[in-house]
């Protein structure tokens, strides 16, 4: 596969594009390579610009390695617009293009940065860079890029790529979800598209969460919270974790159990007007390590073992919870 690499200025929509077209693109976020980071990858926007971050001495070499490992896997790779990274690409003869905002785009760009949760220090840094032409002139005069692409007000990465490569989008039309729903969180409306995966391979997505329908002694462990309803064990995937590692960590933290085997049940895309994320749901056979002690994140206060046909009344997932019950009822036997 011929991969196009784009060094994109912040807040031009590369993450939104990747969430919408995961088969076409990979957004390699630089922050966890440039700094020591062990947090939930969903929180990376809040990490940007925070003070006293510990520098990773292997940057940009570790970042270039990640880029090279993914060339040929996706039509598009989005990378940070950092001079050290682009100079390293020049040195290795790796071709790339640059996406940059016009002056008319700047107010919209800064508003988008605030809306997606970037801290004030990061937004001020973007504003400072774009206040003069110094950064742009450095790119023009010192880097060996293929193309310099300017995005105007109302234009984003998606706008440009759909216009330039229409044939790719014709081949990658979206599969219709099996279930659709919505919910309101912190007075903001989100939409959910759910896709069945039971008996199918896990697709290539930028997974941000994983939750587990487990089986222990013929029952499903559901975690308990002090002020909210029961839920499945699971949560955000940390930087550097694969799905298996995240599953085992979450089970240890919230149940003090481990997965003997696991398989996919389905996945959902949760999104609003600013973008979304992909979340995986799996079934796992569990083994107890010890009694529940405490959740390191401080949210789970214990767990309860429930029958599979009572799962939905505990977790309140609607049609998705009913799907879990229906597809898994044979797994739990008479005791369930």
Q: Please, where in the chain does CATH 3.90.79.10 lie? A: 179-332
Q: Please, where in the chain does CATH 3.40.50 lie? A: 4-171
**Which pLDDT value is given to residue 296?**
77
**Which pLDDT value is given to residue 291?**
92
As averages over each run of 10 residues, the pLDDT of the chain (336 residues) reads 93 87 88 82 64 88 95 95 96 97 96 86 93 96 97 95 88 75 82 93 89 97 91 92 95 96 95 80 97 82 95 94 95 67
Residue 215 burial (CB count, 10 A): 23
**Which pLDDT value is given to residue 172?**
56
What's the sign of the alpha-carbon dihedral 102, 127, 190, 41?
A: positive
Rounded CA-CA distance 40/323 in Å is: 28
CATH 3.50.50.60 is the classification of domain 179-332: no
**Which pLDDT value is given to residue 187?**
79
Beta bridge partners of 123: none
Task: Report which of 106, 74, 112, 100 is spatially closest to residue 275, judged by C-alpha positions.
Answer: 112
**Which pLDDT value is given to residue 251?**
97
Residue 9 burial (CB count, 10 A): 21
Report residue 224 as tokens. Answer: 């308990």
Report residue 71 as tokens. Answer: 């060339």
Into which CATH architecture does domain 4-171 fall? 3-Layer(aba) Sandwich (3.40)
**Which pLDDT value is given to residue 173?**
54
């Amino acid at each position: 596969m011929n991969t196009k690499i784009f060094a994109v200025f912040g807040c031009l929509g590369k993450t939104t594009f990747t969430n919408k077209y995961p088969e076409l693109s990979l957004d390699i976020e630089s922050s966890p390579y440039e700094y020591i980071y062990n947090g939930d990858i969903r929180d990376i926007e809040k990490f940007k610009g925070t003070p006293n971050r510990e520098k990773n001495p292997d940057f940009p070499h570790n970042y270039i390695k990640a880029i090279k490992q993914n060339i040929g896997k996706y039509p598009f790779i989005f990378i940070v617009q950092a001079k050290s990274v682009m100079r390293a690409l020049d040195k290795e003869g790796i071709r790339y293009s640059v996406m940059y905002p016009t002056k008319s785009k700047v107010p919209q760009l800064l508003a988008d940065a605030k809306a997606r949760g970037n801290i004030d220090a990061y937004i001020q840094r973007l504003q400072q860079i774009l206040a003069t032409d110094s950064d742009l002139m450095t790119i023009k005069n010192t880097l060996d890029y293929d193309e310099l692409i300017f995005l105007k007000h109302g234009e984003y990465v998606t706008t440009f790529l759909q216009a330039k490569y229409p044939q790719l989008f014709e081949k990658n039309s979206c599969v219709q979800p099996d279930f659709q729903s919505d919910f309101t969180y912190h007075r903001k409306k989100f939409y959910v598209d759910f896709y069945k995966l039971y008996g199918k391979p896990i697709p290539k997505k930028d997974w941000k969460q994983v939750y587990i329908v487990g089986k222990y002694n013929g029952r499903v462990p559901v975690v308990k919270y002090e002020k909210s309803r029961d839920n499945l064990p699971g949560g955000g995937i940390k930087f550097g974790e694969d799905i298996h590692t995240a599953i085992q960590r979450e089970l240890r933290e919230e149940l003090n159990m481990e997965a003997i085997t696991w398989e996919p049940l389905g996945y959902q895309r949760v999104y609003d007007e600013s973008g979304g994320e992909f979340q995986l749901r799996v079934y796992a056979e569990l083994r107890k390590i010890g009694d529940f002690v405490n959740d390191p994140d401080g949210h789970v206060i214990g767990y309860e073992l429930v029958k599979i046909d009572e799962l939905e009344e505990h977790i309140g997932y609607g049609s998705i919870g009913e799907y879990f019950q229906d597809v898994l009822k044979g797994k739990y036997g008479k005791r369930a």
